[in-house]
Structure 1
Amino acid sequence: MNINDILKKEFNLRDEQINNTIKLIDEGNTIPFIARYRKEMTGEMSDVTLRAFYDKLIYLRNLQSRKDDVIRIIEEQGKLTPEIKVNVEKANTLQEVEDIYAPYKQKKRTRATIAKERGLEQLALDLLNQNIKNINEESSKYINEEKEVNSTEDAIKGTMDIIAEIVSDDAKIRKYIRELALREGVIVTKNSKEEKSVYDMYYDYSESVRTIAPHRVLAINRGEKEDFLKVKVEINNEKVINYIINEYVNDKNLKNKEVIVSAIEDSYKRLIFPSIEREIRNTLTENAQERAISVFGKNVKSLLLQAPVKDKVVMGFDPAFRTGCKIAVVDKNGKLLDTTTVYPTEPQNKVEESKKELKALIEKYNIDIIAIGNGTASRESEKFVSDMIKEIDREVQYIIVSEAGASVYSASELANEEHPDINVSLRGAISIARRLQDPLAELVKIDPKSIGVGQYQHDLNQKKLEGVLDGVVEDSVNSVGVDLNTASYSLLEHIAGISKTIAKNIVAYREENGDFTSRAQIKKVKRLGPQAFTQCAGFMRIEGAKNPLDNTGVHPESYDICKNMLDILGYSLSDVENKNITDIDSKVEAIGMKELSNKLQVGEVTLKDIIAEIKKPGRDPREEGIKPILRTDVLKIEDIKEGMILKGTIRNVVDFGAFVDIGIKNDGLVHKSEMSKGYVKDPMTIVTVGDIVDVKVIGVDMNKKRVALSMKI
């Protein structure tokens, strides 16, 4: 197996890209660093492609390692033939390798192993390879009371058990049945309870294995786990048995056909099909989980990279009924100014008292925006806030913010470190306010699984989900960069090359020595060695640094190149600092990008990145994104009528469509068939979390409080 050739074909890459990327990975470079600062070597592979490349590389290396183990084990048994070795080496998946290894694997005590212990293996092999004229006469030779073979019937029965296991262990047979099941199999579900449930549609349901949607697989699995559904896979059993008969019955053993066919039927029903059915269900589940994890990752990334609302004083409003609404006011930099609890909702209904208290806070701190959490009592709180701000002379707006994970953060060790003197119940309001100001900096404090923009996240492989989401968070943080003098350790630990311990050491160094004035200064941080510095430096930002390049995405390794370029083009570092790099494109064009890169002895791709960075020092790429919708009035579902055109925010994207916040209690749904006039296979090709969209109301279900929307306006 040539790993490089497989990667080359799958990712459509050149040999040098493959070799360079593997070398960079093996040297311990992080994916964000490779994606951002080694573009010349990788051919500009994105972070997403690099992570897929890395996962495939690890899989193929594990596959090769398993192949080597299997060949060694079979060889130690003295059973390795050239054919077996070739078949193992040609296998493309771990499943194929395990199928080949199955006959040589040490088994638990089975009916076949018991029959072998009774001395019947030779009779089984003779039945398969010879035309035995009288099977009863031949079987009688194996009667042995000491081995509990008391009759010809015992001998034949044990022989059939051995043949059944031989057939079951046949890699070719298993491959045929598996491929047939994937191609022609049908998933069939029935209800196991009479009561109504969310799984009603699956109470008498069937769908092709080949076409069943991932989200339906996960729904069926959950329904089965909760004991509402019975699930099975159906295939053409007769077709399969005939195939096996054709493989095992021939001129050599035709006289023994009846016994062999009986053993084949037993093998298929008792051993092969239950195993293949589990494999098919596992394959469907793994594929569905991979898709769900991918969707979750993309949603999380979109949420993390939402445009920040900067330079605004924000009131975080964490709604509740009985225990009261928790309030936290933070300044433009997210610093906590004040907290309180008000009771404008049931059962207290202290509306006027609550208005008076909050108006006083708004006046005292010049609050610009009220961020309301979208949990319990959210819309009741929104109505209260909407009415209140109409009574205020100055302009105050509000917005509904996802509060997913706020309670997890509130009780976390990090929240206790940040706000040791603040009651746990009030910390959620602080998080809600800050996640409007800087979604990335605040949401990285929360386990990504708790952010609430996925599907069936609790049913997924948690290790895989965690790995993908950690990668998403890392890529998101590094794509934005962090301010070395304001970032919390929870943000810093996601920078390439920085561990949690080093992140805490950076914060400790800052607290002891004051603000960093240069990137080079972080080399003094405890346990931050040269390798870590190389990985992390380009993603650190220092506003007002001595060297203005320290506030850009230019890596320190390229500082000399950048300075030489500025000299050639007639600029200085002070021009970078004062944002005077205005006509650089025309100057570069006059010289020629290729000529300039030759002069500087740097790749054109790297040079283009350097130019882009010095044009906008301190640039936050999120600021170019879509700003959230700020509201001053509230809608109720009773206000919604078919035909209305509304503006909304995409809250979650799933395989079958997208949920849109249109300002009512429950998000409306745009089914994927209503996203475009053309066919939509994947809703993520149309919208992402945080997008602002115009939607048309096409249905209102007052009983279920559901609104159907269309983007086909």
Structure 2
Amino acid sequence: MRRLENTLSREFSIQEKYSRNILAMFEEGATVPFIARYRKESTGGMLDVDLRRFHERWQYLVELEKRRMSILTVLENKPDCPKGVITKINQAITKSELEDIFAPFKTTRKSKASEAIEIGLKPLAEDLWAGTLSEQPKDLVQWMKNNSLEMEVQKALEGALDIIIETLSQDTELLKQGRSLLLSIGEVQSKLVRGKKDLGEKYRDYFDYSEAVKKIPSHRLLALFRGKKEAILKLSINLPNETVDLSRLNLDHLAFIFSPQVERNAALCKLSVNQKRYLFLAWEKKLSAKLESDIFSVLKEQAEEGAINVFANNLNDLLMSAPAGPHRVIGVDPGFRNGVKLAVINEFGEVVDHGVIYPFTSDAQKQKAISSLLNYITQHNVEWLAIGNGTASRETEQLANQLIEKEGLSCRAVVVSEAGASVYSASDVAISEFPDLDVTIRGAVSIARRFQDPLAELVKIDPQAIGVGQYQHDVKPAQLASSLANVVEDCVNKVGVDVNLASASLLSYVAGLSNRMAQNIIDYRRQKGRIESRGELLKVKGIGAKGFEQCAGFLRVLEGCEVLDSSGVHPESYPLVRTMAKAMNMQIQSLLGNVSAINQLQLKFADFSGVDRYTFDDTLKELAKPGRDPRPEFRYAEFDQGVQSMSDLVEGMSLEGVVTNVAAFGAFVDIGVHQDGLIHISQLADRFVKDPRDLVRVGQVIKVTVLEVDEKRKRISLKATGL
């Protein structure tokens, strides 16, 4: 444990006491949102994103120690294992380094080298390496005669070379330096597989391509890996000009690779010309392929991590995008032949009416559809029409706007993303919520609710189905799912949850609540009715003192019997707030939002004993803006009504759109033509932009200029304006 504390303290540049505290809280089952928000005094104010990294690194180090112990246990039963190997294992700091050291001692299938050792050729390999024996046939014949070996000279030489090559390829320092060489100056090269030109047209940019290993971005790597997986591309890693310059490496220790007992003197020696020749042979025969495989594994891991981070960042931005709020909304799921599905939602997210209209099948049906839509709007005092951005969305938007203008209605129409709505509509969650509604109507409900509150509705959908990532099918599913679940958890707990309105899906992401606990809260509400206080949560089955500690601060009870229950102040700090109110000679209700009183309290920290500065300041911030929502104000994109399809686009045209996806190379923007346009990173601003997310986020409404339209390839190039 002490070793872990030291390592983590050093890597995260924090005091060891904070590392110890964090590990203790994790082991007790504390969640990242809870620790980040309510235990800052125990972490030194570490942010949630850093706590996530700390947790991941801790898990890695725990697995590393388990593997270290497992290897040491195996080596205890190998009396021929040198002491130096044990020392190296105890000093190894990565899993790959451990495996490199352990590789020669693994019980694996026989290799050519092991077979050569079994027939007595290791002494021959040692003499050849040491230079006391040449490869001249007459010298080899004499050596074999002296050592009573009867076999073909050529086979004996081949066996000895196999031993030398395998011994070199298992040297941990050589592997380490070889990897470093390829990572620093190596080049990733891709070639078209013969006969696959027509099948691989989408990969034509990579038919004959090379880029430095240290510069190639994640998205390009994943495209190359996909091309390889589809047998379109052949990938390799080569040194510049395909020259193997091993003089860059410090390999003099190899002079005594067959004599470990004198390894300590290796620094005084140099590799002979003959040994260098064998080293080049080992590189060509085995090391190059092994290191190439290792580097591709490293690159794939880095690329996947990059893709997952892009997905996670976009998901975070989408979930934290502005909610329209508690309005009466008609969720509209457009369609041509199958009709336009409508779901009327009240300000509490409840379905009050629904239906299907067919405005695009005939003139008669169109008039009937307009009449029905008008009836839905006026009967239910609808304020917004949230129209899904799929098939027939612009046509439906145009129809709605014409109706609104003709009848002088006060409602407005807006196009919103419907990504994942169909997934939700057929899910168990949707069936549980609306068992009597048709699957298509459930999709319209989802569209309306995500307009009201994106976070509350999108948590019901598998994050991978929301459509804000790239190459998600090329990364490890478990790693992606874990990362996205962490994002959802962090977003939910940053915003807070109304315990009386939240769905089980939303509640399940609250810190400290399991799926079962979340459902128990729903069941409790159904049986008892409205929850009146946070303290009442302790009556819910499965929520004990520990669970309550974790979740209470993130659950809101609006208009309950305790005024602080609607804020982000944790119940454990209620006594502190009462003391603050008493010090100011006022009621707690009067303290909330009272900037003057809070500013005075800020100067009186020394008067409050038994409270740390972090908790004191955070409590005052919450009292200043109780229950504050960290999300921005709502804004929506107004699509140009004269632009309905790609054919309507003209170079130089200025439009408004909404960012749907942000990648390392730029941002995709919905401008209302059923095909997102791309703002390349170089077109985001008139200055250098390192990361597109520094300027744009998913859900952001921006203005763009059309640069180029390629209808055949369905590509739209855009330039951002005003960022």
Q: Secondary structure at the match of 1:664?
A: coil
* Aligned with 1:432 (options 439, 443, 447): 447
1:246 to 1:520, Cα distance in 2 relative to 1, 3 A? closer
1:238 to 1:706, Cα distance in 2 relative to 1, 3 A? closer
Q: Secondary structure at the match of 1:78?
A: coil
Is 1:206 the counterpart of 2:241? The answer is: no
Q: Which residue of 2 aligns with 1:376?
A: 391
Give the deviation of 1:370 after TM superposition: 1.3
In terms of mean alpha carbon deviation, does 606-615 or 651-660 score higher? 606-615
Could you give the per-residue CA deviations for residues 127-185 of structure 1, whole angstroms, max 9, x where no partner exists? 334603622221345676xxxx6322222222222222111111111112111111111
Q: Which residue of 2 aligns with 1:282?
A: 297
Q: Which residue of 2 aligns with 1:680?
A: 689
Q: Which residue of 2 aligns with 1:464?
A: 479
Q: Which residue of 1 aligns with 2:265?
A: none
Give the deviation of 1:634 after TM superposition: 5.6
Query: What are the equivalent positions in structure 2 for 1:179-198 lying under 5 Å apart?
Result: 179-192=180-193, 193-195=196-198, 197-198=201-202
Supply the AA of the counterpart residue of 1:393. Answer: G
Q: Which residue of 2 aligns with 1:535?
A: 550
Supply the AA of the counterpart residue of 1:120. Answer: L
Query: What are the equivalent positions in structure 2 for 1:260-271 lying under 5 Å apart?
Result: 264-265=279-280, 267-271=282-286
CA distance in 1, matches of 2:192, 2:413: 46
Whether the 8 Å contact between 2:190 and 2:210 is mirrored in structure 1 is: yes
Q: Which residue of 2 aligns with 1:386?
A: 401
Q: Which residue of 2 aligns with 1:628?
A: 636
Is 1:584 the counterpart of 2:597? The answer is: yes
1:635 to 1:312, Cα distance in 2 relative to 1, 3 A? farther
Q: Which residue of 2 aligns with 1:41?
A: 42
CA distance in 2, matches of 1:318, 1:600: 58
Q: Secondary structure at the match of 2:201?
A: coil
Q: Which residue of 1 aligns with 2:343?
A: 328
Give the deviation of 1:705 after TM superposition: 4.7
Query: What are the equivalent positions in structure 2 for 1:539-688 lying under 5 Å apart?
Result: 539-575=554-590, 581-589=594-602, 592-596=603-607, 599-622=608-631, 624-629=632-637, 633=641, 635-636=643-644, 637-688=646-697
CA distance in 2, matches of 1:39, 1:251: 52
CA distance in 2, matches of 1:385, 1:252: 83
Is 1:398 the counterpart of 2:403? The answer is: no
1:98 to 1:705, Cα distance in 2 relative to 1, 3 A? closer
CA distance in 2, matches of 1:633, 1:104: 71
| TM-score where L is the length of structure 2 | 0.91
Whether the 8 Å contact between 2:386 and 2:447 is mirrored in structure 1 is: yes
Whether the 8 Å contact between 1:143 and 1:151 is mirrored in structure 2 is: no
Percent identity, aligned pairs only?
38
Whether the 8 Å contact between 1:322 and 1:347 is mirrored in structure 2 is: no
* Aligned with 2:140 (options 131, 135, 142): 135
Supply the AA of the counterpart residue of 1:492. Answer: L
Whether the 8 Å contact between 1:677 and 1:712 is mirrored in structure 2 is: no
Could you give the per-residue CA deviations for residues 520-545 of structure 1, whole angstroms, max 9, x where no partner exists? 11111111111111100111111111
* Aligned with 2:244 (options 236, 239, 257): 239
Could you give the per-residue CA deviations for residues 192-235 of structure 1, whole angstroms, max 9, x where no partner exists? 21216221211111111110011000111112222222211112
Give the deviation of 1:321 after TM superposition: 3.1
CA distance in 1, matches of 2:361, 2:346: 30
Give the deviation of 1:121 after TM superposition: 2.6
1:626 to 1:677, Cα distance in 2 relative to 1, 3 A? farther
Query: What are the equivalent positions in structure 2 for 1:83-482 lying under 5 Å apart?
Result: 83-129=84-130, 131-132=132-133, 134-140=139-145, 150-192=151-193, 193-195=196-198, 197-235=201-239, 238-239=243-244, 248=254, 264-265=279-280, 267-345=282-360, 350-482=365-497
Whether the 8 Å contact between 1:410 and 1:428 is mirrored in structure 2 is: yes
In terms of mean alpha carbon deviation, does 240-249 or 636-645 score higher? 240-249
In terms of mean alpha carbon deviation, does 340-349 or 461-470 score higher? 340-349
CA distance in 2, matches of 1:348, 1:56: 64
Could you give the per-residue CA deviations for residues 400-424 of structure 1, whole angstroms, max 9, x where no partner exists? 2111111111111111100000111
1:347 to 1:107, Cα distance in 2 relative to 1, 3 A? farther
CA distance in 2, matches of 1:373, 1:602: 50
Whether the 8 Å contact between 1:667 and 1:707 is mirrored in structure 2 is: yes
Give the deviation of 1:240 after TM superposition: 5.1
Give the deviation of 1:249 after TM superposition: 6.3
| TM-score where L is the length of structure 1 | 0.92
Whether the 8 Å contact between 1:115 and 1:162 is mirrored in structure 2 is: yes
CA distance in 1, matches of 2:647, 2:343: 31
In terms of mean alpha carbon deviation, does 434-443 or 355-364 score higher? 355-364
Whether the 8 Å contact between 2:638 and 2:656 is mirrored in structure 1 is: no
CA distance in 2, matches of 1:268, 1:303: 49
CA distance in 2, matches of 1:481, 1:474: 11
Whether the 8 Å contact between 2:493 and 2:511 is mirrored in structure 1 is: yes
CA distance in 1, matches of 2:84, 2:228: 42
Q: Secondary structure at the match of 1:159?
A: helix
Could you give the per-residue CA deviations for residues 574-629 of structure 1, whole angstroms, max 9, x where no partner exists? 325xx56342234225xx14324xx242122211221222233343332x445333
Gaps of 5+ in 2: 260-268
Supply the AA of the counterpart residue of 1:547. Answer: E
Whether the 8 Å contact between 1:659 and 1:669 is mirrored in structure 2 is: yes
Q: Which residue of 2 aligns with 1:487?
A: 502
In terms of mean alpha carbon deviation, does 24-33 or 2-11 score higher? 2-11
Give the deviation of 1:339 after TM superposition: 1.8
Q: Which residue of 2 aligns with 1:710?
A: 719
Whether the 8 Å contact between 2:141 and 2:153 is mirrored in structure 1 is: yes
Q: Which residue of 2 aligns with 1:699?
A: 708
1:39 to 1:299, Cα distance in 2 relative to 1, 3 A? same
Could you give the per-residue CA deviations for residues 33-75 of structure 1, whole angstroms, max 9, x where no partner exists? 0000001111211111110111112212222332333333233
In terms of mean alpha carbon deviation, does 488-497 or 241-250 score higher? 241-250
Could you give the per-residue CA deviations for residues 319-375 of structure 1, whole angstroms, max 9, x where no partner exists? 233322222111111101122222334699943332222122112212221111122
1:139 to 1:425, Cα distance in 2 relative to 1, 3 A? farther
Gaps of 5+ in 1: none
Is 1:690 the counterpart of 2:699? The answer is: yes
Whether the 8 Å contact between 2:116 and 2:122 is mirrored in structure 1 is: yes
CA distance in 2, matches of 1:519, 1:23: 26
